[in-house]
Amino acid sequence: MNTSSVEKKFVYLAIIFGLIIMVLTPPFQAPDENNHFKKAYVISKGNIFPEEQDGKAGFYLPKEMVQYIEEQNSKAGDFEEKFEFKDLYMKERLPAGYSGTQFYNFSTASQNPLGHCVQAAGIIVGQIFAHILDVKDPSVVYQLYFARFFNLLFYVVVIAISIKLTPILKKTFAMIALMPMALFQAATVSYDPVLIALAFFVTAIIFDIAFNKEISQIRFRHLIILSGIAYVFYAVKIVYVPLLLLLFIIPKEKWGNKKVAIKKIGVLAIAFAILFLVFKVMTPHLELVTQDNSGALAHEQMLYVIQHPIGYLKIFFHTLNHTRQFLISTTIGTFGLIDTNLYCVFLGSYLVILPVIGISEISLDSKHVRLMDRFAVFVSTGAPIFGMFLAMYLLWTSTREGFGVGASEITGVQGRYFIPVMPAIFLFFSNQILQRNSKIKKGMKLLVDNSELVITVMLCMSAIALLLRFWC
């Protein structure tokens, strides 16, 4: 199985199709892109921390810019609404002409700025290019595409490094990272692709330490990098922190003797604590008090879960079953403002092909995975998924009309939230049984070697879906 050029093929496909998706997706026609862009925009202007007015956290933004964003966002679900290239072209090139600012509260206002630094950097670079290209008073569309491009660039670079680094599941890493939903997020403004890329990097580092025979000991630089990423997870989306429990798959001999192992675990904890304290001291508290009752409702919902643990588990499994079509669609390929799915034939095909290729590749990699290692994989990938449902039940479902405290279903969870943990899941299925049959082994090798064809077809269909949805 040739894996020497997997990262190169990934870069080519990700750049080509990522740019196509970036151009074909009209402004603010991606999940929460409106709020993520606002946060990146204010950071690019040097406004890192929100102000408070009337009990709400927010920032001052140009009124005309917010009006345009809201107009675009209001087109969700309207399949009759089409976009004209000339309108977009003129909107990007003409001066913005913003006349004044107004205080706005939006969903990402109080979130940690770490998740939006990449997009903010893109906007800053766009401002620099504006001077070079003589673009006076850059418009919101002009800045949006620079933010999108930097998101895509960060995603491609970090995941290419991850694919190169991991000694196993290289093609599976690439296939998941090129999944239409993942690449769609990478080509729009959101902190999700940043988290996906960092999660892949964490998984690759741990796989490299665990399965690379040339690495005899876990090094302190590994621990520093992992603690840094752990802090980003903690600050931006805490449910991904348990992914670092994959550290338990590293053989104990690579930790060193007991004294050295304790020292290394201490370094990991201390590095995280230093980052936590530095950010705590240097930054004001981001979670400003609001006048709504969401905090009280979340507290009531938590008490309900604690008092009815079995009942909550029933709600969890009921939600998985009842919303499975939505969860599958939003994992593999849902575009626009969660209103445009790929045809079911492609969703169904990919739902079958991806696991088959992943299990085939891990089987061909011939790595011995102990029972305790499988348990570590189960916990480190299952905890973020379970935690995502729990977080949405507490913070979102409790506040939604028609649901509330003690609701019989969890709402707000989308399959795209599970993408960061997907590469690690396939380690659970490692075995040396399938390749004992020469015909099965040959078939698995054929599937893995041609996985690029599968993803190329899926991305072509995704580009066509975006073209038909928004432009034709």
Question: Exposed (0-12), middle (13-18) or buried (19+): which is 424, by Cβ within 10 Å?
Answer: buried
Q: The domain containing residue 128 runs over which residues?
A: 6-470
pLDDT of residue 3: 55
Any domain includes 21: yes
Any domain includes 1: no
Q: 136: which DSSP letter?
A: -
pLDDT tens digits along 15-60:
999 999 999 999 999 999 999 999 999 999 999 888 888 878 899 9
pLDDT of residue 285: 55
The average pLDDT across 372-399 equals 95
Given a contact cutoff of 8 angstroms between Cβ atoms, the answer to whether 227 and 275 are in contact is: yes
pLDDT tens digits along 207-255:
999 999 899 889 889 999 999 999 999 999 999 999 999 999 999 999 9
Question: What b/e sequence results for 299-336 when a residue is b if at least 16 CB atoms lie within 10 Å of its CB, and e otherwise?
Answer: eebbebbeeeeeebeebbeebeeebeeebbbbbbbbbb
H-helix segments, 323-343: 324-332
The average pLDDT across 301-325 equals 95
pLDDT of residue 289: 47
What is the rounded (10 degree) CA torsion for 374, 376, 378, 381?
A: -130
Write down the mean pLDDT value for the chain. 92
Any domain includes 353: yes
CA 312 to centroid of chain Cα atoms: 26
Any domain includes 125: yes
CA 454 to centroid of chain Cα atoms: 22
H-helix segments, 166-255: 170-177, 180-186, 192-211, 220-236
pLDDT of residue 56: 83
- Residue type, position 51, single letter: E
Q: Is the pLDDT of residue 290 over 50?
A: no
Any domain includes 81: yes
Q: Where are the beta strands (DSSP E) in 331-439?
A: 334-335, 340-341
Q: Is the pLDDT of residue 272 over 60?
A: yes
Any domain includes 39: yes
pTM for this entry: 0.94
pLDDT tens digits along 98-152:
888 999 999 898 888 999 999 999 999 999 999 888 888 899 999 999 999 999 9
Number of domains into which the chain is organized: 1
